[in-house]
Structure 1
Amino acid sequence: MDAVAAHGDLRLGTAAGRWVLLTTVLGSALVMIDGTVVNVALSRIGTELGAEFAGLQWTVNAYTLALAALILLGGSLGDRFGRRRVFVIGVVWFALASLLCGLAPDIQTLIVARGLQGVGGALLTPGSLALISASFHGEDRGAAIGAWSGLGGIAAAIGPFVGGWLVELSWRLVFLINLPLAAVVVVVALRHVPESRDEDAPPGLDLTGTTLAASALALLTWSLTALGESGPSPALWAILLAGMLALAAFVAVERRSPHPLVPPTLFADRVFAAANAVTLLVYAALGVVFVLLVLQLQTVAGFTPLAAGTALLPVTLVMLAFSSRAGALAQRIGPRLPLTFGPLLAACGLLLMLRIGEGASWALHVLPAVLVFGAGLTLTVAPLTAAVLDSAPDRYAGAASGVNNAVARAAGLLAVALLPGLAGISGEDYHDPAAFSVGFGVAVGISAGLLAAAGVLAFVLVRRPHRATRLEVEQCFHCPVSAPTPYPTD
């Protein structure tokens, strides 16, 4: 099988090709579904485990922190030691961590288990796309990636419905459902997926850069979460400063490393730098909204977990239906205008969410908001991915997509740590409809401002005409509804 993978000779219409596609789709679906349903389960988790809002923040952020810090290293490990091997290790790791999540007796154990889940996700996530790219024949590679993206979108659409139903039975099932799925992925991968590796991969791993990146994100997340929960103190300001210094040290190390996680030459391109700045603003807003909206629907509007989980289903359906058209539009006219009007339209959708309050109706209050929001995301996601990939040299295409994905995850991580506190949400406010609703309104207003700033930034800086050379990599690369696919966030 190694020879097949080495030459990329698999065809999509063959049994061998379908097995590879099934494995990668199921592996991605593990993380996608987990990402969509954990937010739905937060209210039940907090109630059963007696957690304050900071505990719920860390339930989300422990996973995202590990994933954001290690996902680039995970890709490098796969290239060096075998993509299938690292993918399978990641799936097994993710499953064992999911078991620990499902059995967690308290919020502290759950947070640790979620961090371990993120490590597993960082190992399996890069391998999913890499296995397809390495295994399929060039003529079938684009079609295979498109099928993988489409099937991943279906998994994202199913996730909130299945998750809401599971949460109504027990929030623990949200994690335990991963075990049988992971078992299927491992068996199929070992029997039917060819091994591959990059024989030209750099001889070393950027462990220093990885350590600094993880330390910076951990210190920043910890300090921002604590500042929002308990207010400023000299110790917290010191931790925040330490995080900023670690981030500066990471940049310095990457500039001198012979095998950097983030090739500095990428950011020499103005469009690449601008597209990642837009990514930072967009995904900061989305990270906050996707956590707080499901809580607003349950705590304030009185929705069941199932109803809250499926409330955002129209966003996924709109993106599945129209993302390819948005990508085609970006091919014709370039990414600048879609990246200007997409975030602005999404911001309008967020402002419509301010109407979601006590006694809100799904048809009158939720549906109009999520449809406008989904339309804005549809205009944004594919052109943003295309702008990032198109602005990077061909030899750095994989690194460019990985960097952009890491930026998206880090943005959501830091925003979920900071913005709820700025909005006044803390303690047990998620049990107090009046207090939570006020904080939700402030947080959504800030998020709308971030999206508007992203649109303005794109209009000013994203000017290069788009070359239609790498859009096939996928049309929904950072779709946050599928959390974000194919490198899902949580």
Structure 2
Amino acid sequence: MVQYKWIALSNTSLGAFMGFMNANVVLIALPAIFKGININPFTSFQYLLWVLFGYSIVSAILVVNVGRISDIFGRVRMYNLGFLIFTIGSLLLYITPGSGNIAALQLVIYRIVQGIGGAFLMANSAAIISEAFPPNERGFALGLNGVIGIFGGVAGIIIGGILASIYWRDVFLVSVPIGILGTIWSYRSLKQLSKPNRNQNVDILGNIMYAISLILILIGITYGILPYGTQATGWGNPFVITSIVVGIAMFVGFIFIERRVKDPMFRLELFKTRAFTSAAVAIILAQLAFGGLQLMLVLLLQAIWLPLHGYSYEVTPFWAGIYLLPLLAGFGIMGSIAGKLSDRYGARSLATTGLVIMGTGFLLLTLLPYNFNYLEFALIIFFMGVGNGLFVSPNMAALINAAPPQHRGSASGIRAMLTNTGSTLSIGIFFTIVIDTLYVTLPPVLTSALNAAGAPQLASILAKLPPTAAIFAAFLGYNPVSTVLSQLPNSIVSSIPASTISTITGTYWFPNVLAPAFVEALRTAFYIGSAMAFLAAIVSALRGKAVIYERDILRSTITSALDGKKEQQQK
């Protein structure tokens, strides 16, 4: 008979596989999706961002709440519900009716439904694995779970590319059979090993304060990336400023409330353990460094490197995913190995080494020219994937091990929240650096290049092109120049020689114009990423010795109680 721990690992790994696959399928298939619903990339920034980030934002908001509620009502029950909700969201995405803005809004709403299901899965999977495996095997189990998730990411790239070329709706349908299988399997096989504490109250005020504060902060960051008036980004938008300031103020109020509530949603006492706090801080710093990296590399490949190597804009989303496989491979190879090693040697040396590798990888990326040799690029991102694998599994095991069993749902939720929030912040920071730099440097470069190409009549038009529009158009598989020309009066287009039109709409002209400024902005972002990774390494190195609750804290508590009893008897 198969041991229950392997059933728990395989089922939660199926959930991880589905989640990673779904994320990459959507990323690769976005051009087909937006063309399928007839959305113009130059006027659809907000929809693009919400289809991309709505899932992670909702998950970040809900995971702590769900983790805490799962400690009260049962982790397995909440996990099962997550599989069901995710499957329903996937089915709704597949049957999305209509086209245009209405269809885009429906996609956003259904992605949010998926995000709710994902929050239930993420908040409980690590806790279910930790309950099923003994402390000396948790690192390996959590690492293997992550590796299977990476396999899902690889499958998502390939499946997304194939299905996007057939019919855009099919990219959402692929998750449905996996979701149905996982839902039935989880309801039939998973067991609640620890008894939920039903005597606790749900912290309603804390849940509301936390959710609203994080919603406001993350929405503010998301809209801070978008243009505002004549500005390249929206950080001067009163809505963005108000949203972030009010969100931060409410979060401070939330912390104040949690210190005084009998059964708080956010278990602040977990942070009294040094091992837990160090692991949590390392997560947020590492995600600030690494969270936006993949998206920036996707933009670099799609907007510059792939067109320069003869790939049409229409096929760049798929090939960008293929060329980034070394990043996933590095994580996949090292994830389970590092988890196994952390069971024997602890997390500090492994996680710290991984973060140093990541920081070094960022510095190496800054040395590459925009028309780089792919082998060098592949080795660097593989190197960074290995570093991420060395960090994630041991650090996650360290965080979970340091939490009491009855609060591991909360601990798992905090981990997922820090991961998703850090990733969203990272994307906001990286995007802002790139867009603000391009806003200053791109117009004069475009003007000069158009004059040299023999199309001065386009200079004043393209010079006003928001960098966000150019980047997002390339990201969605559109040629930015061709898209602009298609929207101009025929009298202007016909005044330009055909040879010039052929040159500026080819795969080489725009990337060569964009590349110097874009890569310089990326270097600044990578320097910041490197600094965050090295700072996370310092935090990780100072975490102290490994702590396993069942072995250390619980034993210390029992010993103290026995010593106190002996003293009373002696008196």
TM-score by length of 2: 0.70
Deviation at 1:72, TM superposition (A): 2.3
Q: Decide which of 240, 244, 254 is 2:244's aligned counterpart.
A: 240
Counterpart in the other structure of 2:469? 427
1:371 aligns with 2:371: no
Deviation at 1:345, TM superposition (A): 2.4
Unaligned runs of 5+ in 1: 1-10, 472-490
Counterpart in the other structure of 2:210? 213
Cα distance between partner residues in 2 of 1:63 and 1:172: 18
Q: Decide which of 392, 406, 427 is 1:416's aligned counterpart.
A: 427
**Against the structure 1 CA distance between its residues 390 and 101, is the aligned structure 2 distance closer, same or farther, given a 3 Å change threshold?**
same
Counterpart in the other structure of 2:531? 452
Deviation at 1:125, TM superposition (A): 2.9
Cα distance between partner residues in 1 of 2:111 and 2:360: 33
Amino acid of the structure 1 residue aligned with 2:356: L
**Any idea what the Cα deviations from partners look like across 1:22-66, whole Å, max 9, x if unmatched?**
433322322121123333334444555224444322222211111
Q: Decide which of 341, 346, 359 is 1:347's aligned counterpart.
A: 359
Q: 2:469 aligns to what SS in structure 1?
A: coil
Q: Which moved more, 1:285-294 or 1:432-441?
A: 432-441
**Against the structure 1 CA distance between its residues 378 and 296, is the aligned structure 2 distance closer, same or farther, given a 3 Å change threshold?**
same
Counterpart in the other structure of 1:318? 330
Q: Which moved more, 1:142-151 or 1:28-37?
A: 142-151
Give 1:153-172 correspondences, 5 Å limit. 153-172=150-169
Give 1:281-296 correspondences, 5 Å limit. 281-296=285-300
Q: Which moved more, 1:119-128 or 1:330-339?
A: 330-339
**Any idea what the Cα deviations from partners look like across 1:204-228, whole Å, max 9, x if unmatched?**
2223222222212221222223233
Q: Which moved more, 1:135-144 or 1:408-417?
A: 135-144
Cα distance between partner residues in 2 of 1:393 and 1:203: 16
Amino acid of the structure 2 residue aligned with 1:239: S
Equivalent residues of 1:43, 1:430 under 8 A apart:
no
Equivalent residues of 1:88, 1:186 under 8 A apart:
yes
Counterpart in the other structure of 2:521? 442
Amino acid of the structure 2 residue aligned with 1:50: N
Deviation at 1:416, TM superposition (A): 2.4
Q: Decide which of 262, 265, 270 is 1:261's aligned counterpart.
A: 265
Deviation at 1:407, TM superposition (A): 0.8
Determine what percentage of the aligned residue pairs are the same residue: 26
Q: Decide which of 34, 50, 65 is 1:73's aligned counterpart.
A: 65
Counterpart in the other structure of 1:388? 399
**Against the structure 1 CA distance between its residues 63 and 440, is the aligned structure 2 distance closer, same or farther, given a 3 Å change threshold?**
farther
Equivalent residues of 1:292, 1:440 under 8 A apart:
no
**Against the structure 1 CA distance between its residues 429 and 101, is the aligned structure 2 distance closer, same or farther, given a 3 Å change threshold?**
same
**Any idea what the Cα deviations from partners look like across 1:264-290, whole Å, max 9, x if unmatched?**
122234453343232212112322122
**Against the structure 1 CA distance between its residues 382 and 239, is the aligned structure 2 distance closer, same or farther, given a 3 Å change threshold?**
same
Give 1:169-184 correspondences, 5 Å limit. 169-184=166-181
Counterpart in the other structure of 2:117? 120
**Against the structure 1 CA distance between its residues 55 and 225, is the aligned structure 2 distance closer, same or farther, given a 3 Å change threshold?**
same
1:38 aligns with 2:26: yes
1:96 aligns with 2:88: yes
Cα distance between partner residues in 1 of 2:132 and 2:16: 17
Equivalent residues of 1:219, 1:240 under 8 A apart:
yes
Q: Decide which of 47, 50, 57 is 2:40's aligned counterpart.
A: 50
Aligned length: 459
**Any idea what the Cα deviations from partners look like across 1:157-216, whole Å, max 9, x if unmatched?**
433332333334344333221111112122323344445663325522223222222212
Q: 2:291 aligns to what SS in structure 1?
A: helix
1:403 aligns with 2:403: no
Deviation at 1:441, TM superposition (A): 5.0
Deviation at 1:121, TM superposition (A): 0.9
Q: Decide which of 101, 109, 123 is 2:106's aligned counterpart.
A: 109
Equivalent residues of 1:209, 1:261 under 8 A apart:
yes
Cα distance between partner residues in 2 of 1:415 and 1:204: 35
**Any idea what the Cα deviations from partners look like across 1:304-362, whole Å, max 9, x if unmatched?**
33322232322333233333544566677765554444333223333444577776554
Cα distance between partner residues in 2 of 1:294 and 1:81: 41
**Any idea what the Cα deviations from partners look like across 1:373-405, whole Å, max 9, x if unmatched?**
123213322343244345555664543343122
Cα distance between partner residues in 2 of 1:24 and 1:330: 21
- Which is higher, the Rg of structure 1 or of structure 2? 2
Q: Decide which of 531, 534, 546 is 1:467's aligned counterpart.
A: 546
Cα distance between partner residues in 1 of 2:413 and 2:328: 23
Unaligned runs of 5+ in 2: 229-233, 436-466, 474-479, 481-510, 551-571
Cα distance between partner residues in 2 of 1:281 and 1:149: 19
**Against the structure 1 CA distance between its residues 376 and 369, is the aligned structure 2 distance closer, same or farther, given a 3 Å change threshold?**
same
Amino acid of the structure 1 residue aligned with 2:248: M
Give 1:54-65 correspondences, 5 Å limit. 54-65=46-57
Cα distance between partner residues in 1 of 2:66 and 2:549: 23
Q: 1:426 aligns to what SS in structure 2?
A: helix
Equivalent residues of 2:150, 2:328 under 8 A apart:
yes
Equivalent residues of 1:282, 1:454 under 8 A apart:
yes
Amino acid of the structure 2 residue aligned with 1:384: N
Deviation at 1:148, TM superposition (A): 4.2
Cα distance between partner residues in 2 of 1:392 and 1:165: 43
TM-score by length of 1: 0.80
Amino acid of the structure 2 residue aligned with 1:210: N
Cα distance between partner residues in 1 of 2:416 and 2:83: 20
Deviation at 1:249, TM superposition (A): 1.6
Cα distance between partner residues in 2 of 1:134 and 1:276: 20
Q: Which moved more, 1:329-338 or 1:103-112?
A: 329-338
Q: Decide which of 284, 307, 311 is 1:280's aligned counterpart.
A: 284
